[in-house]
Chains A and B, each alone.
Chain A
Amino acid sequence: MSENPNDSQPREDSEYAVVMRNVHKWFGPFHVLKNLNLNVTRGEKIVICGPSGSGKSTLIRCINRLEEHQEGDIIVDGTELTNDLKHIDKVRSEVGMVFQHFNLFPHLTVLENCTLAPIWVKKMPKAEAEEIAMKYLERVKIPEQAHKYPGQLSGGQQQRVAIARSLCKRPRIMLFDEPTSALDPEMIKEVLDVMVELAGEGITMLCVTHEMGFAKTVADRVIFMDGGEIIEQNSPQEFFDNPQHDRTKLFLSQILDHT
């Protein structure tokens, strides 16, 4: 950490949950994130939307280093993401993530899915880990499924297990990558309900989703991305009622026509 460009203003960065400054990322020759700047305050709920390929998933995947950015700074809860594995571990211990396709471990039971990280990463005794896991499984309303395998549950139940799994390490920031896009329509609500409840608890949330109803109820800020850039960001009310940019208007007209 010899060349930390933030030394002049460390306090400011660590006051935010996430700071992204002039972030660029390429997949091979493809420029996916272009000069992104984003400050997320603690406890803020942010919904990110945009057409597919706009870089919204890549953006949140950079926050827990599932993707590496090539230029710019990303500072998560005061820790700058560099190649230093200790920093990555620290960030990952504070950031939970929920995936579009759940990514539960199919060879482990629901309970084992939830206790894996606490037992092996946090070295917690098994009994304590199970107690915490059951607490979160109750929060997502499926304690009775604890001893089943993920393959025996419905999509909505699996996604709720995935939420419980990431909550088990008590993250301060939660990332959701299109958590309801792979679900059958009748299961979307049960997952969104859990997310709304979670939002009420002061956790910082960044959520890539096209559920505009969710955005309206929960979000403090809605961000619209296209072509690797943040085109527009605003409070949900302003964003939906009074979009500024033409591309935002086009996008909103396309997704809201059907809902």
Chain B
Amino acid sequence: MKPISYKIGEHPDLPPPASVTGPLAWVRNNLFSSPTNVVMTLVSVWLLFELIPPMLNWMLFDAAFSGENRDACRAQAGGACWAFIAERFRLFTYGFYPAEERWRVNLAFVLLLLALVPVLYDRLPLRKYGLYYSMVFPLIAGWLLLGGWGLAPVDTDQFGGFMLTLVIGVTGIAFSLPIGILLAMGRQSSLPVIRLVCVGFIEFIRGVPLITLLFVASTMLNYFLPKGTVFDLLLRVLIMVTLFASAYMAEVIRGGLQAIPKGQVEAAEAIGMKYWQSMRLVVLPQALKISIPGIVNTFIGLYKDTTLVIIIGLLDPLGIGRSSLADTKWTGLHNEVYLFVAIFFFISCFSMSRYSLYLEKKLQTEHDH
């Protein structure tokens, strides 16, 4: 570049040279910036080369997608036997939900997606009405799945598979956040009784493994409740999972609450806001924003913990997988089953994680955007 001189005070902002921005600069800065970095890059490339093609071969190119049983699969190709998953796909999805009523599960799923839109996306036109719908969605879904009022009733022990995961996961997520917020606020309350109850609850629940709580839910509660009370097993599981996640949620949110400077509450009080107003409009929006990574972490943990219900006899996807593997037609196909279930969980959890990143970015108000 030829030297140009500007008058003092009139030097314009010039674009950076190509060595600072372009793709080549990126490669140099990120992949080959130091000897260690060069070695790491080469090792990574070699590892990817060794791992990816065999995996793809097993999963796709050498895989069998149809066949009556394991031997038929093996006769076709040496890779994965997806015919097994294909045959059991409905079982994996709906559990033992009656075949002729499965449209209700599908409809509930579509309605769930619709209910998520206004919650997740705040620029939706008429979002307020969308949120009303999201709030009544649990009732609609409960009616659709359980039946009654014109629909054939379906017992909850017929729930299973991904549908069961979603029922437990979505319920736990939807209720643990508000309960967690209340617990976190209660833990900081100036009233000793409220504080004591919240601290006691949180510490008790956190100090006990979820499995123990699930056992309590499935057996012990029968002793405590009056004889003859019919208290659905799934409902008990839902309550226990929700309470368990709430305790963790409360601690995550408490961390966020403590990060908010005292001056924020004082400013809210000084302009005349009451405790609940200052909490809802000033403190919580900021505290929740800081807590997003922790909140989503808890959500993901909860979602994956739903697989523990297998221990008390509910058939989540892993349970369906295990019972399917017992079928002599399909023995020994563990890899396919667990990979399939893993992919399902990965898609759900990865979406949550991505959404939390999007949300964090959107709520960023520190700098120009």
Contacts and interface: CB of A to CB of B under 8 A. Distances in A.
A107 B368 CA distance: 13
A38 B247 CA distance: 50
Contacts of A93: 272
Given A105-B264, A107-B289, A96 B270 contact: yes
A69 to B, nearest CB: 16
Given A89-B272, A93-B272, A121-B272, A151 B365 contact: yes
Nearest to B270: A97
Given A103-B264, A105-B282, A92 B269 contact: yes
Contacts of B270: 64, 66, 92, 95-97, 99, 166
B366 interface: yes
Which size bracket describes the interface of B in this complex?
20 to 34
Interface in B261-308: 261, 263-264, 266-274, 277, 281-282, 285-286, 289
Contacts of A30: none
A169 B282 CA distance: 17
A137 to B, nearest CB: 16
B266 A99 contact: yes
A93 B263 CA distance: 18
Nearest to B285: A107
Contacts of A64: 269-270
Contacts, number: 71
Nearest to B289: A107
Residue from B270, B273, B282, B368 whose CB has the most chain A CB atoms within 10 Å: B270
Contacts of B273: 116-117, 120-121
Interface in A64-97: 64-66, 89, 92-93, 95-97
Contacts of A101: 261, 263
B367 A151 contact: yes
Contacts of B277: 120-121
Nearest to B263: A103
Contacts of A116: 271, 273, 281-282
A165 interface: yes
Contacts of A150: 365
A125 interface: no
A106 interface: yes
Nearest to A120: B277
B46 to A, nearest CB: 46
B363 interface: yes
A242 interface: no
B272 A103 contact: no
A152 interface: yes
Interface residues of A, number: 27
A214 interface: no
A41 to B, nearest CB: 23
A149 interface: yes
Contacts of B263: 99, 101, 103
A93 B281 CA distance: 18
Contact of B366 (A92, A97, A151, A169): A151
Contacts of A49: none
A195 interface: no
A104 interface: yes
B152 to A, nearest CB: 48
A89 B274 CA distance: 8
Contacts of B289: 107
B266 A117 contact: no
B281 A103 contact: no
B363 A107 contact: yes
A236 B272 CA distance: 33
Contacts of A149: 365-366
A152 B364 CA distance: 11
A140 B23 CA distance: 47
A89 B273 CA distance: 8
A107 B364 CA distance: 8
B271 A121 contact: yes
A96 B271 CA distance: 7
Given A120-B281, A152-B368, A166 B266 contact: no
B272 A117 contact: yes
Interface string B344-369: 00000000000000000001011110
Contacts of A96: 270-271
B271 A169 contact: yes
B267 A99 contact: yes
Interface string B246-268: 00000000000000010110111
A66 B353 CA distance: 40
Interface in A96-152: 96-97, 99, 101, 103-107, 116-117, 120-121, 149-152
B365 A117 contact: no
Contacts of B267: 97, 99, 103-105
A65 B266 CA distance: 10
9 contacts: A66-B270, A95-B270, A96-B271, A97-B267, A107-B365, A116-B271, A120-B273, A120-B277, A121-B272
Query: Which 10 pairs of residues, A with B, have the shortest CB-CB distance?
Result: A103-B267, A117-B271, A103-B263, A149-B365, A97-B270, A121-B272, A92-B272, A151-B366, A107-B285, A93-B272
Given A96-B271, A117-B273, A166-B271, 17 more contacts: A66-B266, A92-B272, A99-B263, A103-B266, A104-B267, A106-B286, A106-B365, A106-B366, A107-B286, A107-B363, A116-B271, A120-B273, A121-B272, A121-B277, A150-B365, A151-B365, A152-B368
